[in-house]
Amino acid sequence: LQVVESGGGLVQPGGSLRLACAASGFTFDDFTVGWFRQAPGKEREGIACISSSDAGTYFADSVKGRFTISIDNTKTTVYLQMNSLKPEDTAVYYCSADRKTSVQTLCTIPWFGYDYWGQGTQVGVSS
């Protein structure tokens, strides 16, 4: 049982990428799922989270209006659509999922004890 991120890459400023977080061996039913990122020398930060129960979302101010988060109908994949990318968005992006946590708590407290963490996918924004 694990979560696996995909979709990272190198893009120019102003470009777009879509990341995917896939549940392997289970579904995200009754989970809160979130995207985090960690740039070199910085702490991991939560940027976008979604509840599979009511589709409630939470976004960090740094990505509000540029990033969207969604979950597919089978509740096996959560997507992070990233638009208007900036160089400061460069980081390793991680997915996490937890059964007992609200969207705000998951996104504001990057605790390594959540049920699942993925291995991360690298996103680079550079001209």
What's the number of CA atoms in the CB half-sphere (13 Å) around residue 81?
6
Average pLDDT value for residue range 74-87: 97
Average pLDDT value for residue range 113-124: 96
105 pLDDT band, cuts 50/70/90, is very high
Average pLDDT value for residue range 10-28: 97
Distance CA(109)–CA(44), nearest Å, equals 9
Distance CA(53)–CA(39), nearest Å, equals 30
pLDDT at 112: 87
Average pLDDT value for residue range 95-119: 93
Average pLDDT value for residue range 57-72: 97
Distance CA(117)–CA(101), nearest Å, equals 14
